[in-house]
């Protein structure tokens, strides 16, 4: 797999905020910004040029969010698929590219198996990349062409994670 240089930054950003999502348990809710929305997810941050457009598109879509102390976008778990789709559109444009690979992180064997089952059911080809530094975690790569289907899977994963809490 060969990634274009401008996509490497997105891959690193994706991995960093996925690590934050999976290893953070202390997420504050700011009722002045989000109201009583319940469970939250963290998307991350696009580059300086794209971030304001990302926020504008979230507002346009009616997505409630807040910006946390790390300057990441925090949104309701029920909006995960929409937020992922908006971020992809802002970063890559409206067309899906089969030669760009996106990443979905996992934490724990059950989480990984759930994701792999979902991908298989949707007929999506993937590559599993375990993280040797943090056993039981890793990333699953898939072609961007499957992004909209994977956005729905991401939302299912997030919802499942909050069912456990």
Q: Measured between alpha carbons, how far is 158 from 97 in angstroms, rounded to an integer?
A: 25
- Residue 38 pLDDT: 54
In contact, 76 and 39? CB cutoff 8 Å: yes
46-99 pLDDT per residue, tens:
788 899 999 999 999 999 999 888 888 999 999 999 999 999 999 999 999 999
Record the tokens describing residue 132, joined without a space: 């040797």
Please give the model's pTM, rounded to 2 decimal places: 0.73
DSSP conformational letter for 47:
-
Closest to 69 (Cα-Cα) out of 22, 107, 33, 15: 33
């Amino acid at each position: 797999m060969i990634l274009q240089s401008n996509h490497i930054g997105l891959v690193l950003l994706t991995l960093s905020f996925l690590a934050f999502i999976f290893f953070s348990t202390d997420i504050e809710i700011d009722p002045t910004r989000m109201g009583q929305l319940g469970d939250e997810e963290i998307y991350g941050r696009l580059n300086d040029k794209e971030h304001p457009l990302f926020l504008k598109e979230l507002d346009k879509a009616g997505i409630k969010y807040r910006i946390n102390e790390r300057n990441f976008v925090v949104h309701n778990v029920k909006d995960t698929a929409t937020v992922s789709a908006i971020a992809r559109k802002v970063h890559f444009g409206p067309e899906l590219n089969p030669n760009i690979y996106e990443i979905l992180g996992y934490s724990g064997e059950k989480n990984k198996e759930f994701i792999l089952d979902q991908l298989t059911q949707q007929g999506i080809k993937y590559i599993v990349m375990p993280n040797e530094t943090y056993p039981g975690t890793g990333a699953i790569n898939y072609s961007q062409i499957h992004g909209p289907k994977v956005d729905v899977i991401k939302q299912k994963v997030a919802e499942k994670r909050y069912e456990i809490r």
